[in-house]
Amino acid sequence: MAAPLPSPGVGPPDDAPPAAGPCGSCAQASPGRLQRLGLAPGRHDHVVALAGNPNTGKSTVFNALTGLRQHVGNWSGKTVSRAEGGFTYGGAKYRIVDLPGTYSLLSTSTDEDVARDALLFGRPDVTVVVVDATRLERNLPLVLQVRQITGRVVVALNLVDEARRHGITVDTRHLSRELGVPVVATAARRGDGLPELLAAIAGTATTDDPPEPLALVHHDPQLEEAVAALAARVEARFPGVPNARWVALRLLEGDPGIEEAVRAGTLGELAGAPPLEAAGGAA
């Protein structure tokens, strides 16, 4: 079990000592205070996935939330490294998984496959998409793709210190309204915005009424018909598969990774997998 780490400075600005033990459900874990657990706890209340383009600060956010003692291994059957850790916040235990950096979830690389499978079939309670505030246009496609999969999303608008230096300001409230999910400005390297990010993660993890996934608007009735028919067949072949519509769309686009998963029957295995557990293999 991980030893408690020094107060990371992302709790509320009080002088209270950090919780005495690593147990998130212990009475000492006061609401609103982060306690980094490092190694992933066996039992957890919520699973958080960290997604984002390469080099946007995912691991910096991950390290700030979990501390230095991490569980690092490979995604099962892949040479892509997988880091996971834990923290407690507001009396709940969180497990957080750092996904490989990807520009999209459209299966053009092993990294994208891993990230896509984890989000699509691992069903995390919250997906934090870490975006680069200095390159928003380049980062938003992934946010939109994740939003099509789930409403339980928090956007960490990171590198706002860099953006500021370049004279870029982003209207986070407007962006949040457009995306339908919280957008939190962060400068993760300095710890700025992390208390607000934690609050948004907790709110999204615990809400009974998350935003709906973004619907893809199709104006072509023939395409709509094809998607609906194929989604119904996907559901019939793989009962309980999440996001059958998304799978159907990818099939229509000829996504080789999804085609292979359907052909080999592994889509069904992934559908039956417990949240982000079966993708494990971390040693």
Give the nearer residue to ligand GTP in terms of CB position, either 111 or 235. Answer: 111
CB 89 within 8 A of CB 96: no
Q: How far is the CB of 78 from Mg ion (least distance, A)?
A: 16
Binding string to ligand GTP for residues 183 to 222, with x set by CB under 6 A, is what?
----xxx---------------------------------
Q: Whose Cβ is closer to ligand GTP: residue 177's or residue 190's?
A: 190
Q: Which is nearer to Mg ion, 58 or 71 (CB)?
A: 58
| # of chain residues touching ligand GTP (CB under 6 A) | 16
CB of 60 to ligand GTP, least distance (A): 3
* Interacting residues of 270 by C-beta distance below 8 A, sequence separation 6+: 117, 120, 121, 261, 278
Nearer to Mg ion, 131 or 202 (CB): 131
List 35's β-bridge partners, or say none: 88
Q: What is the distance between the terminal CA atoms of the chain, rounded to a whole angstrom? A: 15
Return the residues of window 227-266 that contact ligand GTP according to CB under 6 A. Answer: none
Chain Cα centroid distance, residue 55: 16
Q: Which does 161 bind (CB under 5 to 8 A by kind): ligand GTP, Mg ion, none?
A: ligand GTP
DSSP 164-201: HHTT----HHHHHHHHTS-EEE-BGGGTBTHHHHHHHH
Judged by beta carbon distances under 5 to 8 A according to partner kind, the member of ligand GTP, Mg ion, none in contact with residue 34 is none
Pairwise CA distance, residues 245 & 51, whole Å: 21
Q: Which is nearer to ligand GTP, 97 or 241 (CB)?
A: 97
- Residue 139 binds: one of ligand GTP, Mg ion, none (C-beta under 5 to 8 A by kind): none
**Residue whose CB is nearest to Mg ion in the complex, by number:** 59
Give buried/exposed letters for 204-241 (b at 16+ CB in 10 A, else e): bbeeeebbebbeeeeeeeeeeebbeebbeebbeebeeb
Integer Cα distance of 88 and 187 in angstroms: 21
Q: What is the dihedral of CA 245, 247, 248, 253, to 10 degrees?
A: 130
Sequence-separated (6 or more) residues with CB below 8 Å from residue 215: 148
Select from 35, 56, 127, 204 the one that contacts ligand GTP (CB under 6 A).
Answer: 56
Alpha helices in 49-100 (DSSP H): 58-66
Phi, psi of 89 (to 5 degrees): -155, 130
Residues 100-119 that bind ligand GTP (CB under 6 A): 101
For residues 152 to 181, the per-residue mask of contacts with ligand GTP, x marking binding by CB under 6 A and - elsewhere, is ------xx-xx-------------------
Nearer to ligand GTP, 159 or 198 (CB): 159
Determine how many CB atoms are found less than 10 A away from the CB of residue 124: 24
Least separation in angstroms between residue 221's CB and ligand GTP is 40
Please identify which residue in 28, 30, 59, 104 interacts with Mg ion, judged by CB under 5 A. 59
Contact residues: ligand GTP, CB under 6 A: 52, 54-60, 101, 158-159, 161-162, 187-189
Contact residues: Mg ion, CB under 5 A: 58-59
